[in-house]
Amino acid sequence: MLDAKIPSGPLAEKWNKHKFDLKLVNPSNKRKYDIIVVGTGLAGASAAASLAELGYNVKAFCFQDSPRRAHSIAAQGGINAAKNYPNDGDSVFRLFYDTIKGGDYRSREGNVYRLAEVSVNIIDQCVAQGVPFAREYGGLLDNRSFGGAQVSRTFYARGQTGQQLLLGAYSALNRQINLGKVKMYTRSEMLDVVTVDGKAQGIITRNLIDGTIESHAGHAVLLCTGGYGNVFYLSTNAMGSNVTAAWRAHKRGAYMANPCYTQIHPTCIPVSGDHQSKLTLMSESLRNDGRVWVPKTKEIAERLRKGEIKAVDLKEDERDYFLERKYPSFGNLVPRDVASRNAKQVCDEGKGVGKTGLAVYLDFADSIKRLGEDTVAAKYGNLFDMYRQITDENPYKLPMRIYPAVHYTMGGLWVDYNLMTSIPGLYALGEANFSDHGANRLGASALMQGLADGYFVIPYTLGDYLAKIGPAPIDANRPEFAKVKSEVEVRVKTLLSLRGNKTVDEYHRDLGKIMWEYCGMSRDEEGLKKAKGMISDLRADFWKNAIVLGDNEEVNQSLEKAGRVADFLELGELMIDDALNRDESCGGHFREEYQTPEGEALRNDDDFAYVAAWAYTGDNMPEELHKEQLEFENVKLTQRSYK
């Protein structure tokens, strides 16, 4: 059994007590420590800035040309905080409870409570930085209800909340770069972790401009490298989002937890053809005012697909507002996993719309009638414009077409309460870890978690570890560094020697299709077993027949992609193993075999109320399962019901 090191005592006192119990680093010793931060999204930028402010020397890395490009920038909807400004009954406990319940009781009480607790500090911090959140006419902050929450606890900045929060964290990072406390490495990709005597003490990177393979030493390494949604090829992630840093750490001994928990977001613009390179999310705030429906019968759907009739021509009794029908109390605002699964179900029944039949309507006609086009435009204008730009259809006149797409990965590197992975000195923050969202993440909670980890958790917990190991310098000339560096060089050489006949993108697309088909919105044993074999064959074929062009000593997109896809091919198989192991349905993990008579996810709390943490044991060897039992002392496990 894994020990998450959750502090004892009452839930509401755990974090405070823990902060007191953690060792502190003497202020004059802080400058003797070097900290490596990989990734500059919300978690990475906030951590790098906060640690540098404390006095540590930080080296920060990103593969993009600027730290401001990290994919946190694309988050649209908002950030939750238990401020209770609207006086509508919110509290730290309610945010905690909603998050635990929304995660289908597969997350840790201690972590989630701490998240809810520090959520209020995040908003204060961001406002003080000059983040321009939406405001009321009285000059105070505006809140909205988001993603099914029954209180208005979401702070937002138009449809660009992630952008504004990231630019806030980026500004704090810039200040520390200017002060010389952070050294920033852009266009640098981490390719491995170096451990010395079992502790993480550095990383190996590749300079993406000239190919230099570099060793960087530090007293601790923080991976803030995001999620692995691009294992599905098509997702709402950025093109460059990848699992390589986390996967390399996994192969050096960091456990990977609950990799099968992936979030399929219900409101994305549907796929238009084979050329599709990524999917675009439409913020789920749209579900506050849009009504989801499909035609009542297959026959009408067929005529719509052929373009014989238009959606607006259908009478009310020819439409099925299936979420409102099945979930009268939550209606269109049911959690993401429930909304996505229902959309898939109606499309599987042949009622899908659009050319491909893989779409449902999200209709604003009623809201426009009730509120006027101007009000709707003020709330969602930029999203409507984006939709129009991509689809060439006017959502003010015709209902939007939406379909679920891979959006977020709840699984990730296993971490304890201090955010330390199973490798001492190696930490994982933000989407890269697994710890707070259970089997399903609630809307507006990703930004909250990324910033909580970076601004308010790691500055405390890291000090405890550093104080214990002491400030003696870490030497990048040790043989351990040379060994890992030469392994990285060999791998790069091997990749560059592949001169087969199939492009890396083709492998990636094939992998994505397998994952989406068999390990996507619903899974079953037979399909998963089949997929495992398919991925294994695909991986073997990749190492024989992939085309990787060019040399190491240059800008080489072919090589970059190949390294990332090679890691996705390994991760995919572990996700299948994890999905096969979990003989229950929970949140985003829906196993066909385990459902209630109404078709809802059926958990098995007796046997599966645990975190599945997988340990790498060697190439082509089965991974070893470690379990962390989840203890629920403050909430009662119930069947989620949104009826």
Residue 134 or 377 having the CB closest to another protein: 134
Our CA angle for 230, 235, 236, nearest 5°, is 115
Q: Annotated catalytic residue: which of 69, 336, 341, 582?
A: 336
Phi, psi of 482 (to 5 degrees): -60, -40
The 3-class SS string of 64-103 reads: CCCHHHCHHHHCCCCEECCCCCCCCCCCHHHHHHHHHHHC
Q: Is 450 exposed, middle or buried (0-12, 13-18, 19+ CB in 10 A)?
A: buried
Report the residue number, 127 or 365, with the smaller CB distance to another protein: 127
Task: Give the shortest CB-375-to-another protein separation in angstroms.
Answer: 15
207 burial (CB, 10 Å; 0-12 / 13-18 / 19+) is: middle
Nearest residue (CB) to another protein, 209 versus 482: 209
Q: Are 51 and 179 in contact (CB under 8 A)?
A: no
Q: How many residues can be counted in the chain?
A: 643
Distance CA 72, CA 380 (A): 20
Q: What is the 3-state secondary structure (H, E, C) of 241-288?
A: CCCHHHHHHHHCCCCEECCCCEEEEEEECCCCCCCCCCCCECCHHHHH
Look at residues 119, 110, 112 and name the one whose alpha carbon lies nearest to residue 90.
119
β-pairing, 57-61 vs 34-38, is parallel
Q: Helix (H, G, I), strand (E, B), or coil: what is residue 424? A: coil
- Reference 210, options 540, 552, 451, 500; nearest CA is 552
Q: How far is the CB of 16 from another protein (least distance, A)?
A: 15
Rounded to whole angstroms, the Cα distance separating 419 from 593 reads 34
Q: Least distance in Å: CB of 90 to another protein?
A: 14
Signed CA dihedral, 542, 547, 549, 551: sign only = positive
**Which one, of 74, 70, 4, lies nearest residue 43 by Cα?**
70
Minimum distance from CB of 62 to another protein (Å)?
A: 11
In the complex with another protein, the residue whose CB is nearer, 210 or 525, is: 210
336 carries an active-site annotation: yes
Torsion of CA 445, 446, 447, 452, to 10 degrees: 80
Written as one letter, the residue type at 87 is N
- The dihedral through the CA atoms of 393, 394, 398, 402 has a sign that is positive
Residue 272 is encoded by which pair of tokens? 């238009």
Please, what is the minimum distance in Å from the beta carbon of residue 194 to another protein?
Answer: 27
Largest pairwise CA distance in the chain:
75
Please state the closest distance from residue 428 (CB atom) to another protein, in A.
20
Which region holds residue 158: left if phi is over 0, alpha if psi is between -120 and 50, else beta? left
What CA–CA distances, in Å, run from 103 to 72, 263, 434? 21, 11, 12
Give which of 373, 351, 350 is closest to 293, Cα–Cα.
Answer: 351
CB nearer to another protein: pick between 157 and 609: 157
Minimal distance in Å, beta carbon 36 to another protein?
19
Q: Are strands 213-217 and 199-207 parallel, antiparallel or unpaired?
A: antiparallel
Is 289 in contact with 376 (CB distance < 8 Å)?
yes
Between 75 and 613, whose beta carbon lies closer to another protein?
75
Minimum gap (Å) between residue 237 Cβ and another protein: 9
Least Cβ distance, residue 243 to another protein (angstroms): 16
User: Min. distance of Cβ 154 from another protein in angstroms?
Assistant: 14
Pick between residue 270 and residue 411 the one whose CB is nearest to another protein.
270
Residue (477 or 497) nearer to another protein, CB = 497
Catalytic sites, residue numbers: 336
